[in-house]
């Protein structure tokens, strides 16, 4: 039994760092890192990550429960899986990040920041991911589900983002997200520096960032709210059939612009508690800075509005709905 969450919270090393469990072998690869490989052949190799932002606890608890159930024999494993709790010190402190947003550090972006434990962790995660994919069966399709919760509420409470890519999006990934009763899908329009951009760009993994409700402290999450995504992840790693979607048709959006904070007088024309997917009508002012107004010639939606980011960072994504 490897209780990865307890080991991470208590900064402990397990008594054994590798072994065998219910139909699979496992290896503890370091703090917040657990690799599980089925004894039989496998067709999928999957990264399941949470805690890149340390205060987003529901996905961490969800993955911890899946791990515990695998070791207890309450679930089968038919895929090779790497479980990742991304930012251990931020998880322990209950903060989003220590110095800089770690989900902007990938694809080598950490090299342009002052070295600290988060930049070193991002570099280490890139190394671990590289080894995991390169040591997996070359025939296996690569996947990455990166689980998050949002800073604020959302008009679409559960949604996913696809990193920018030129190749077609993986059918099974889309099917799994649809089965998870997500409310919306968002397609990025440019290469970024997030964890899923790294796995998609470097390893051609079918990758997606999932946003599941709002960030809360450990012990305050109602995991029943995430029963659908929990069921889907368990089906994906076990090779079972995906559940049938229960909600109305999923909404789809594409990113058409990013709002960058470029001066200290930056203001978003939103209330502090405005939800994700808030709407601006054609010609309506979205933000102001340095005597300039940001407006659009069509109705748009805003995602991840955050006027408190550091200068030079993204303060929001502008979306357009697509059929």
Strands (E), the chain: 18-20, 24-30, 33-38, 44-50, 80-85, 141-150, 158-162, 184-187, 206-214, 251-260, 267-268, 278-280, 287-289, 292-294, 300-303, 314-322
End-to-end CA distance of the chain: 46
* Backbone φ, ψ for residue 273 (5° rounding): -105, 15
Residue 176: strand, helix, or coil: helix
* 211, 264, 284, 323: the active-site residue: 211
Q: Which tokens belong to 85? A: 């709790």
CB–CB of 318/300 below 8 Å? yes
Active site annotation includes 321:
no
Is position 323 annotated in a ligand binding site? Answer: no
Q: Under 8 Å CB-to-CB from 10, ≥6 apart: which residues?
A: none
For residue 84, CA distances in Å to 63, 124, 301, 316 come to 9, 12, 31, 27
Alpha carbon 311 to chain centroid, angstroms = 24
Burial class of 246 by CB neighbour count within 10 A (0 to 12, 13 to 18, 19+):
exposed
Is position 56 annotated in a ligand binding site? Answer: yes
Alpha carbon 318 to chain centroid, angstroms = 19
Q: Count CB-CB contacts under 10 A for residue 65.
A: 16
Q: Which tokens belong to 91? A: 């998880």
Positive or negative, the CA dihedral 285, 287, 291, 292 is negative
* Active-site residue set: 211
């Amino acid at each position: 039994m490897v209780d990865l969450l307890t080991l991470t919270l208590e900064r402990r090393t397990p008594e054994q760092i590798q072994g065998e469990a219910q139909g699979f072998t496992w290896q503890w690869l370091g703090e917040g890192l657990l690799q599980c490989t089925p004894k039989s052949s496998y067709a999928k190799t999957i990264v399941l990550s949470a805690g890149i932002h340390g205060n987003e606890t529901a996905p961490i608890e969800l993955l911890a429960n899946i791990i515990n159930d695998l070791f207890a024999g309450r679930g089968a494993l038919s895929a090779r899986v790497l479980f990742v709790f991304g930012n251990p010190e931020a998880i322990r402190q209950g903060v989003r990040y220590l110095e800089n947003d770690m989900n902007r550090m990938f694809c080598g972006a950490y090299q342009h920041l002052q070295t600290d434990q988060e930049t070193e962790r991002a570099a280490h995660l890139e190394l671990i991911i590289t080894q995991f994919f390169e040591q997996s069966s070359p025939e296996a399709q690569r996947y990455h589900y990166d689980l998050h919760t949002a800073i604020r509420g959302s008009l679409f409470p559960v949604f996913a983002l696809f990193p920018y890519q030129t190749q077609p999006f993986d059918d099974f990934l889309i099917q799994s997200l649809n089965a998870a009763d997500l409310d919306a899908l968002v397609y990025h329009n440019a290469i970024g520096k997030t964890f899923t951009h790294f796995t998609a760009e470097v390893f051609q993994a079918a990758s997606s960032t999932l946003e599941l409700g709002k960030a809360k402290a450990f012990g305050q999450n109602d995991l029943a709210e995430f029963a659908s995504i929990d069921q889907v992840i368990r089906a994906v790693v076990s090779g079972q059939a995906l559940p049938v979607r229960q909600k109305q048709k999923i909404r789809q959006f594409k990113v058409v612009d990013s709002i960058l904070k470029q001066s200290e007088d930056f203001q978003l024309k939103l209330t502090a508690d405005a939800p994700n997917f808030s709407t601006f009508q054609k010609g309506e002012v979205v933000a102001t800075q340095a005597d300039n107004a940001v407006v659009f010639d069509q109705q748009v939606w805003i995602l991840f509005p955050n006027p408190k980011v550091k200068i030079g960072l993204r303060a929001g994504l502008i979306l357009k709905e697509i059929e």
